[in-house]
Amino acid sequence: MNEHPKPPPVQGLEIDEALLRGLTEARSSRRGFLKASAGMVGLAPLLAACGVAGTAASGKKNKEFDWTAWWHKQQPTTELVFANWPYYIDTTSSGNKHPSLELFTKQTNINVSYKEVIQNNAPFYAQIAPVLQAGQSTGYDIIVITNGWQLTQLLENGWIVPLWMEKLPNFQKYASPSVKSPSYDPNSKYSVVWQSGFTGIGYNPKLTGREITSIDDLWDPKFKGHVGMMSDNTELGSVGMLKLGIDPATSTRDDWQKAADVLNQQKPNVRQYYDQSYITALQDGDTWISQAWSGDIYQANLKGYKDLKFVIPEQGVMYWHDNMLIPLHAANPLSALSWMNFYYTPKVAGMVADWVNYISPVPQAQDYIRNVIKDPTVADSPLVFPTPSEYSKAHDYYTFKNYADYSHWNDTFNPIIQS
């Protein structure tokens, strides 16, 4: 089986076969590559005939739909598929059971399939958006999404079922006023908050050498090389605006540019733009001061890093919410409502907050935790139950109006992180 063709005998010359082959056989055939790429490009005209549909049309359709009638037609079911972020619900110490869910099943006879499938907002959105756009069911009855562009998109595209408020009396009764009608979902038409958090400043006083009180401290040249900032451009842009005394929720594009400029000034001081791993750097002492989430600092203290402190700077903190939503084509919408109503009680919200340690949307859960669970560390922590003065310093994020708006924000702030 000799597959190497014999070279033709060159006139009058006895050329060594190997040498000739070496001369004539290009090791990587240039012609071959060109031929192959031409083949690939040839597919293009085929696809040119098609296009990819946009989402604007479906949004309009949803808003005009008669949801009240739809809700009345729904039959109760005995299943619930709840998609959430990992480790974001009360869990027994050996790891498997979730007492709040078990209590729910006992009281309502609804079996909960709890799936910890959400790792981040954007990838999860990228997973479910094509499904929803194709008019199919995601398989989930409840999803938990942070307020931001993806949430706005889900609402705009009409992929979320508006809530039947009559079935959520507990929400009206027990929810904190700060979560009742958020700027990104007026009148809580589509969402109820699961947990919230503050984005403020975390620091180690032993390393900074002094107490931190202001966002300007993140710009302090004494901390050069030991400042951590977040790589999420919404967080980054917002803190830039807070420094300049601008309220992000009402900011304009000029404000964004001003914030970008001041963030660029800070850049030489910054050690790294971190995703959620900023907390590791703080714990190890690589960063002395950093943008931080309230719950992470609380957890770090429990883990033995007692030096770390969280502070609400004088300019304010950003207040974010992870929200429960019912996606379109959910199989068990009434069960979803049932859980939401069940959650919004001091007892259940308390059970969850005692474990998750982020801000609970039910203020009365504080008493439950103090008196029934008897956990004063959590009950008295302002990181889980902020005081009114702390709430007064909380700012909402800017809610994007449309894609062009969002795109502009990205173009303004991405270069800082990406360069």
Partner 1 sequence: MPYLLNLPSWIFLMVFFVIPLASVLALSVATGNPEIGYQYTGHVHEFVTAISTYQTQLIRSFWYGIASTVITLAISYPVAYWIAFYGGRNKSTYLFLMLLPFFVSFIIRTLAWEFILADQGLVLGHLKAWGMLPQSFHILSTSWAVIWGLTYNSLPYYVLPLYVAIERIDRRVVRAANDLYADTRHTFLRVILPLSAPGIFAGFLLVFVTNVGDYVNQQVLGGTGTYMIGSVIQDSFFTNQDYPMASALSSVLMLLLLVAIYLYARTFGTDTIQEYSA
Partner 2 sequence: MTETALQPGTSIDAPPLVRSQRRKLSSYVLPAFVWLVIAWTIVPIIFMIIFSFNQAPTGRIAFNWFGLTGTWYRNVFAIGGLTQALEHSLAIATLSSLISVVLGTPMALALARYRFYGKAMTDMVIFADIAAPSVVVGAALLGFFLTLNIPRGLATILIAHVAFSVVFVVVVVRARVSGLDHSLDRAAADLGANPWIAFWKVIFPLILPGIVAGGLLAFAMSIDDLIITTFVAGQAVTFPLWVYGAVKTGIPPQVFVMGTMIFVAGVVLAIVNTLVSRRSPAQT
Task: Collect all residues with Cβ–Cβ distance below 8 Å to 159 and sequence separation of at least 6.
Answer: 58, 62, 129, 132, 327, 328
Task: Collect all residues with Cβ–Cβ distance below 8 Å to 101 and sequence separation of at least 6.
Answer: 82, 89, 112, 114
- Per CB under 8 A, does 32 bind partner 1? no
- Which range of residues in 136-144, 331-339, 364-372, 410-418 is near partner 2 by CB under 8 A? 136-144
From the list partner 2, partner 1, none, partner contacted by residue 91 (C-beta under 5 to 8 A by kind)? partner 2
Nearer to partner 1, 328 or 340 (CB): 328
Rounded to 5 degrees, φ, ψ at 287 are -110, 145
- Per CB under 8 A, does 44 bind partner 1? yes
Tell me the sheet residues that pair with 323. 145, 193
> Binding to partner 1 (CB under 8 A): which residues in 384-413?
402-404, 407, 410
From the list partner 2, partner 1, none, partner contacted by residue 303 (C-beta under 5 to 8 A by kind)? partner 2
H or E, element range at 390: helix 388-392
- Per CB under 8 A, does 276 bind partner 2? yes
Smallest distance, partner 1 to C-beta of residue 65, A: 19
Distance between start and end Cα atoms, the chain: 56
Tell me the sheet residues that pair with 203. 289, 309
Spatial contact of 138 and 131, defined as CB atoms under 8 Å apart? yes
Contact flags string 278-317 toward partner 1, x per CB under 8 A? --xx--xxx-------------------------------
- Per CB under 8 A, does 15 bind partner 1? no
Nearer to partner 1, 232 or 390 (CB): 232
**Can you say whether residue 150 is alpha, beta or left, with left for phi > 0 and alpha for psi between -120 and 50 degrees?**
alpha
- Per CB under 8 A, does 134 bind partner 1? no
Smallest distance, partner 1 to C-beta of residue 195, A: 23
In 162-304, which ranges are continuous DSSP H helix? 169-174, 205-208, 233-243, 253-266, 278-284, 294-302
- Per CB under 8 A, does 2 bind partner 2? yes
- Which range of residues in 18-26, 96-104, 215-223, 356-364 is near partner 1 by CB under 8 A? 18-26
Of 83, 86, 48, 314, the residue nearest 200 (C-alpha)? 314
Q: Is 223 helix (H, G, I), strand (E, B) or coil?
A: helix
Name the residue with tokens 């859980």. Answer: 339
- Per CB under 8 A, does 418 bind partner 2? no
Contact flags string 222-261 toward partner 1, x per CB under 8 A? ---x-----x-x----------------------------
From the list partner 1, partner 2, none, partner contacted by residue 154 (C-beta under 5 to 8 A by kind)? none
Going from the C-alpha of 403 to that of each of 151, 152, 238, 406, the distances in angstroms are 13, 10, 18, 5
Report d(CA 308, CA 299) in Å as an integer. 10
Rounded to 5 degrees, φ, ψ at 11 are -55, 120
Q: Count the residues in the chain.
A: 419
From the list partner 1, partner 2, none, partner contacted by residue 55 (C-beta under 5 to 8 A by kind)? partner 1
From the list partner 1, partner 2, none, partner contacted by residue 115 (C-beta under 5 to 8 A by kind)? partner 2
- Per CB under 8 A, does 52 bind partner 1? yes
- Per CB under 8 A, does 7 bind partner 1? no
Nearer to partner 2, 60 or 97 (CB): 97
Tokens read off for 310: 């969280």
From the list partner 2, partner 1, none, partner contacted by residue 294 (C-beta under 5 to 8 A by kind)? none
Tokens read off for 412: 């303004």
User: Hey, what's the torsion of the CAs at 278, 280, 284, 289, to 10 degrees?
Assistant: 20
Tokens read off for 296: 């992470």
Q: Which residues bind partner 1 (CB under 8 A)?
A: 2, 4, 17-18, 21-22, 27-28, 33, 40, 43-44, 47-48, 50-56, 122-123, 126, 153, 156, 225, 231, 233, 267, 270-273, 275, 277, 280-281, 284-286, 402-404, 407, 410, 414, 417-419
Q: Which residues bind partner 2 (CB under 8 A)?
A: 1-4, 28-29, 31-33, 35-37, 39-40, 85-88, 91, 93-96, 114-120, 123, 126-127, 130-131, 134, 136, 139-140, 276-277, 283-284, 295, 299, 302-305, 356
